[in-house]
Amino acid sequence: MSELYADIIVDISHEKLDKPFQYRVPERLRDSLEIGMCVTVPFGNGGRRLKGYVIEIGEECKFDPQRTKDILEITTKNAGVEDRLIALAGWIRKNYGSTMIQALKTVIPAKQTVKRLEHRTLQRLMNREEIISLLGESRRKKQVAKERLLRELVEQEEIPYEWVTGKLGVSAQTVRGLEKAGAVRVVSTESLRDPVRLAQENEEAHARQTRPVLSAEQRRIAEEILADFDAGSPGTYLIHGITGSGKTEVYMQIVEEMVRRGRQAIVLIPEIALTYQTLLRFYRRFGSRVSVMNSTLSPGEKYDQCERAKNGEIDVIIGPRSALFTPFPKLGVIIMDEEHENSYKSEATPKYHARETAARLAGMCGATLVLGSATPSMEAYYRAQSGEYKLYTLKERLTGGQLPTVYTIDLRQELKEGNRSIFSRKLQELLADRLQKGEQSILFLNRRGYAGFISCRACGHVMKCPHCDVSLSEHKGGRLICHYCGYSEPKPSACPKCGSRYISGFKAGTQQIEEKLRELFPNVRTLRMDGDTTKTKDSYEQILSAFSNREADVLIGTQMIVKGHDFPGVTLVGVLAADLSLGANDYRAGERTFQLLTQAVGRAGRGALPGEAVIQTYQPEHYAVTYAAEQDYEGFYNEEILYRELGGYPPAAHMLAVQIFAREESRGQSLAEALAECVRGKMPAERGQEMKDAAQTGGERDRMQIIGPAPAAIGRINDIFRFVFYVKSAKYDTLVKVKDVLEEKIQGEQLRTELVQFDFDPVNTL
């Protein structure tokens, strides 16, 4: 038997992460040693022993075998939180493809020499009535920022200072003005740390809070989940419930119970839904034991949050994807709200998915994992169907409000009857009605995943790849290309189905919609929310609160507007072109469309007044449109899963995208081809056999399939050419092996100006 060697990192603090040392694996550890394990190794000549982490195991000795030392032992005792995260990094590296250093940097923030964050809060000094009178005054004077702050102060006696200047967008000057007027004072860290005061304040905060009595269904869910945990078999649970059905209350109940058991909680929320309102609810419930991690924090602040978590200063962290790596000593539960969101998948290498990574972490910590969504991802629902996750369904909205009446409008018919406007006649009629009544409307332009697809405005026909059943994208020079397999054809001048000349891409943006709306209704007050209007910090929150305050009649926006705030004043939602996202050139187009339409439609009628929604589409018969109009998730799932099974797409099977980036087009192309060829069979004999075995067990369905290579959806960015090929297999492990083989080949290639990345079960078009 040949010797085994391990690459070990002996110092994971600081930026020294990138220097592995090689050690020999002694006979007795051969079977037990795994990547990610913590070991003790001799270091230097002075008999020093250091703790190290195994990042790689292989047969090749990179140094002098005579001088390579043995690993002393596996350090199993006292595996601290850091060890667990490093083991998790090992798992991420293996399952998503990256270097160990990239994986480690993902889970552990680099140590920063910054001074500790000073935590400040704003305290109200006046009583509620006095604040209300100030509020009236600033409203008259149109002091918008001051008004926002005062409105919060009416409800709350204390606000974290970062929220005042951050989320609320109130300037320090405004705060000073209020301080002078004797309305508030700014209190800094030290006074907050005073334990006596803190306890007192927490009690008051708890007393102030009106906590709803959980419904029988909510209680049952929380109790069952906790019972499993207490019985020592924490599981993974999926709560499927429309917005407003009380999921967050269930989360908070579970978190509270976990904290009572001396455990900590990680609450993941997509960045875009991480609004002030959401934070406030948790802050009110858990006081200063809760903290927030988001992308606006500096590396130093993030490090500081991690230290607080490690030291037991907080019990609950709320944040997007990366908050998963908060180093809690005794993690009890991970909550993942809006589980279907694409932002849970990292776009940078390692391209991990927070759902799977959370499941792994929960398993390592004996923690519970709770997923929640109004429109669960196909992956989560598939696993719930297979019994891997336990499924709960919350059917009713607790704050009243019924599902809106939905009108699906066929845009082909509109054109036929002479209406060339982007607004159907039904939508115009309902908009006029709302303006006249003084009720609010939302116009939603579905542009997600939209990448230049071509469709016929007369019959709705979409140009698709004859081999992959995904839509073709228009490229410069007028050719249509499939980004999965590289198939291409010239752009037709007439629709191949009906002969109409109205065949083209859909070009209207939110700005044009706003202009057209003004042409129709000259006095309409509009707000627009899209990539352009939300560039500056807090602009997102500001637009939402302005609309909440009824400063506009119509909010026009892209997918951003379907999340976050609740607008009780909205009684009409118009979806301008529902099928834009259906045209997206990837296999998730239907799922994404269904999710967006369902959420958009659900925005109407949250308040006391009933709502209506208009879905304008060229494909009124498409199942993603019809099920969304009926708000029928299961109907959609049952149809979509058939398509995934037939096409061999996730979650029915797995898919690995191999992306190649190169400065020279020809080199990129040939590297892509060489790598694809390598997967096709010309792999090192032993590994190749292994892979063939893996590919053949289980018969036809487990066969690997290779698609491409082809230029990526965006073939060139900043003069870097991009190519991609896909490997499909029923088994994830087979794809991990493919990745291992490719990694080995790449290492032997001495690539200088090329780069290869892996993306398992990609969520975006590549």
Can you give the binding site for ligand ADP, defined by CB under 6 A? 212-215, 218, 241, 243-249, 398-399
Number of residues that bind Zn ion (CB under 5 A): 15
Q: 243 or 533: whose CB is closer to ligand ADP?
A: 243
Nearer to Zn ion, 54 or 465 (CB): 465
Residue 468 interaction partner, one of Zn ion, ligand ADP, none, beta carbon < 5-8 Å per kind: Zn ion
Q: Shortest Cβ distance from residue 633 to ligand ADP (Å)?
A: 14
Q: Give the shortest CB-556-to-ligand ADP separation in angstroms.
A: 24
398: partner contacted, choices Zn ion, ligand ADP, none (Cβ within 5-8 A by kind)? ligand ADP
Which pair of tokens denotes residue 32?
């037990």
**Cβ contacts of residue 493 below 8 Å, gap of 6+?**
501, 503
Nearest CB to ligand ADP, comparing residues 52 and 319: 319
- Shortest distance in whole angstroms from residue 765 CB to Zn ion: 13
Minimum distance between the CB of residue 219 and ligand ADP, rounded to whole angstroms? 9
- Among ligand ADP, Zn ion, none, what does residue 98 contact (CB within 5–8 Å per kind)? none
Chain residues 417-456 in contact with Zn ion, contact rule CB under 5 A? 456
Which partner in Zn ion, ligand ADP, none is near 657 (CB below 5 to 8 A by kind)?
none
Q: Alpha-carbon torsion 44, 49, 54, 57, what sign? A: positive
Shortest approach of ligand ADP to residue 122 CB, angstroms? 24
Of residues 373 and 616, the one with the C-beta less far from ligand ADP? 373
User: Which residue, 310 or 497, is less far from Zn ion as judged by CB?
Assistant: 497
Q: Which does 243 bind (CB under 5 to 8 A by kind): Zn ion, ligand ADP, none?
A: ligand ADP
CB of 470 to Zn ion, least distance (A): 7
Count of other CB atoms within 10 angstroms of residue 738: 26
Minimum CB distance to ligand ADP smaller for 215 or for 405: 215
How far apart are alpha carbons 530 and 703 in whole angstroms? 43
Enclosing H/E stretch for 481: strand 479-481
Closest to ligand ADP by CB, 28 vs 211, is 211
Which distant-in-sequence residues (6+ apart) come within 8 Å of 671 by Cβ?
660, 662, 723, 749, 751, 754, 756
Phi/psi at 234 (nearest 5 deg)? -65, 140
Q: Exposure of 13 by Cβ count < 10 A (0-12 exposed, 13-18 middle, 19+ buried)?
A: exposed
Subset of 449-508 contacting Zn ion (CB under 5 A): 456, 458-459, 461, 465, 467-468, 482, 484-485, 487, 495, 497-498, 500
In angstroms, the CA 226 to CA 214 distance is 15
Find which of Zn ion, ligand ADP, none residue 487 binds, CB within 5 to 8 Å per kind. Answer: Zn ion
Question: What is the residue type of 138?
Answer: S
Residue 247 CB, nearest distance to ligand ADP (Å)?
A: 3
Position 606, amino acid: R
We find the least distance from the C-beta atom of residue 254 to ligand ADP, in angstroms, to be 12
Closest approach, Cβ 495 to Zn ion, in A, equals 3
- In the chain the first and final C-alpha atoms are separated, in Å, by 43
Return the percent helix, strand and coil in the chain, to nearest 5: 40, 20, 40
Closest CB 666 distance from ligand ADP, rounded Å: 52
| Cis amide bond preceding 651, omega within 30 | yes
**652 exposed, middle or buried (CB, 10 Å; 0-12, 13-18, 19+)?**
middle
- Using CA atoms, how far apart are residues 86 and 109, in angstroms rounded to an integer? 12
* Interface of this chain with Zn ion, residues 164 to 183, rule: CB under 5 A: none
Quote the least distance from Cβ 359 to Zn ion, whole Å.
33
Amino acid sitting at position 299: P
Sign of torsion over alpha carbons 423, 448, 323, 171: negative
Minimum CB distance to ligand ADP, residue 376 (Å) = 13
Residue 345 interacting entry, from ligand ADP, Zn ion, none, C-beta within 5 to 8 Å by type: none
For CA atoms 58, 61, 63, 69, the dihedral sign is positive
> Which residue, 258 or 454, is less far from ligand ADP as judged by CB?
258
Strand extents, DSSP E, 665-762? 705-717, 720-729, 754-760
Question: Which is closer to Zn ion, CB of 416 or CB of 518?
Answer: 416
Sequence length of the chain is 766
List residues bridging with 572 in a β-sheet.
Answer: 441, 612
Min CB(283)–ligand ADP separation in Å: 14
296 versus 399: smaller Cβ distance to ligand ADP: 399
Give the pair of three-digit tokens for residue 564: 């976050």
User: CB-based contacts of 747: which residues, under 8 Å, 6+ apart?
Assistant: none
**Nearest-CA neighbor of 412 among 226, 587, 620?**
620
482 binds, among Zn ion, ligand ADP, none (CB under 5 to 8 A by kind): Zn ion
Q: Which is nearer to Zn ion, 486 or 650 (CB)?
A: 486
Residue 7 binding: pick among Zn ion, ligand ADP, none (C-beta 5-8 Å cut-off by kind):
none
Burial of 89 (0-12, 13-18, 19+ CB in 10 A): buried
Phi–psi pair at 275, nearest 5 degrees: -90, 165
Q: Is the Cβ of residue 147 or residue 249 nearer to ligand ADP in the bound state?
A: 249
- Number of H helices and number of E strands within the chain? 24, 30
* Contact predicate 340/375, CB 8 Å: yes
Nearer to Zn ion, 456 or 589 (CB): 456
Cα–Cα distance for residue pair 364/32, rounded to 1 Å: 17
Given ligand ADP, Zn ion, none, residue 214, with its beta carbon under 5 to 8 Å by kind, binds: ligand ADP
State the sign of the Cα–Cα–Cα–Cα dihedral 193, 197, 203, 207: negative
Which CB sits closer to ligand ADP, 68 or 275? 275
What is the Cβ-side half-sphere exposure of residue 593, based on CA atoms within 13 angstroms?
A: 30
Residue 212 binding partner per list Zn ion, ligand ADP, none, with a CB distance cut-off of 5 to 8 Å that depends on partner kind: ligand ADP
For ligand ADP, the closer CB: 243 or 598: 243
Q: Are the beta carbons of 239 and 392 closer than 8 angstroms?
A: yes
In 475-556, alpha helices (H): 510-520, 539-548
Whichever of 375 and 585 has its CB closer to ligand ADP, that residue is: 375
Strand order in the sheet with 316-319: 290-292, 316-319, 264-268, 331-337, 368-373, 236-241, 390-394
Closest CB 213 distance from ligand ADP, rounded Å: 6
Q: Report the amino acid identity of residue 247.
A: K
As a whole number of angstroms, the distance between CA 236 and CA 256 comes to 18
Minimum distance from residue 675 beta carbon to Zn ion (Å): 19
* Binding partner of 274, given ligand ADP, Zn ion, none, CB within 5-8 angstroms per partner class: none
Choosing among Zn ion, ligand ADP, none, which partner's interface includes residue 326 (Cβ < 5 to 8 Å by kind)?
none
CB of residue 760 to ligand ADP, shortest distance in Å: 30
Binding-site partner at residue 303 among Zn ion, ligand ADP, none, CB < 5 to 8 Å by type: none
Per CB under 5 A, residues contacting Zn ion are 456, 458-459, 461, 465, 467-468, 482, 484-485, 487, 495, 497-498, 500
